[in-house]
């Protein structure tokens, strides 16, 4: 019988590649990730800009993407200029609603691609909620009214700036049959 693997680890591996591919496509920038997936005790929203979204279905969880102001601004600027927006028309601060809206839209694209990949590979589906992006001055630890006992952190880099994706999921295993 095939060995079961924690679903969060399988999803984390897919997340690394999906987020990298999506971000490289929309920003036309090189995006790299750490080959180490960290097991963490809890999921937190951290300054300067964070975006979170829940997903529910055959597998359930929460994704939080934490950006420094520089990383968020690099992604926003690259995304908008790749779409043809002149630099002089771009937002100038990370707290501008255009920046948070853009980060929310990119998160939606990443999550949409991820759920399609999981459905294609495992024949399982989940619906994603509307991503919420906001600027923060201090960290907020999330306590979800759910049994999300499994938590992972994935580390990425765009340009000279790091950002992290934290995933919280219920404990489940994917058993291949």
Residue-wise pLDDT for 115-174, tens only, equals 999 999 999 999 999 999 999 999 998 777 778 889 999 999 999 999 999 999 998 888
End-to-end Cα separation, the chain, in angstroms: 8
The proportion of the chain whose per-residue pLDDT surpasses 70, expressed as a percent, equals 97
Q: Encode pLDDT of 117-132 as tens digits.
A: 999 999 999 999 999 9
Domain annotation for the chain: domains and CATH numbers: 5-170 (3.40.1550.10)
CA distances, 52 to each of 26, 69, 87 (Å): 19, 16, 27
At 95, is the secondary structure helix, strand, or coil? coil
Cα-flanking dihedrals φ and ψ of residue 68, to 5°? -70, 165
d(Cα 172, Cα 169) in Å, to the nearest integer?
8
d(Cα 173, Cα 4) in Å, to the nearest integer?
6
């Amino acid at each position: 019988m095939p060995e079961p693997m924690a679903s969060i680890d399988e999803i984390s591996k897919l997340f690394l590649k999906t987020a990298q591919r999506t971000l490289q496509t929309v920003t036309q920038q090189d995006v790299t990730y750490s080959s180490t997936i960290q097991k963490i005790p809890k999921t937190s929203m951290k300054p300067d800009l964070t975006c979170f979204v829940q997903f529910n279905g055959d597998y359930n969880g929460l994704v939080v993407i934490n950006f420094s102001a520089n990383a968020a601004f690099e992604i926003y600027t690259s995304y908008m200029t790749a779409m043809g927006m002149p630099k002089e028309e771009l937002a100038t601060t990370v707290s501008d609603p255009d920046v948070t809206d853009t980060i929310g839209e990119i998160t939606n694209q990443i999550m949409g691609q991820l759920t399609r990949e999981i459905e294609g590979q495992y024949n399982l589906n989940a619906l994603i909620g509307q991503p919420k992006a906001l600027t923060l001055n201090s960290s907020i630890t999330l306590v979800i009214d759910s049994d999300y006992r499994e938590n992972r952190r994935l580390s990425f880099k765009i340009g000279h700036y790091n950002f992290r994706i934290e995933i919280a999921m219920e404990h489940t295993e994917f058993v291949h049959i």
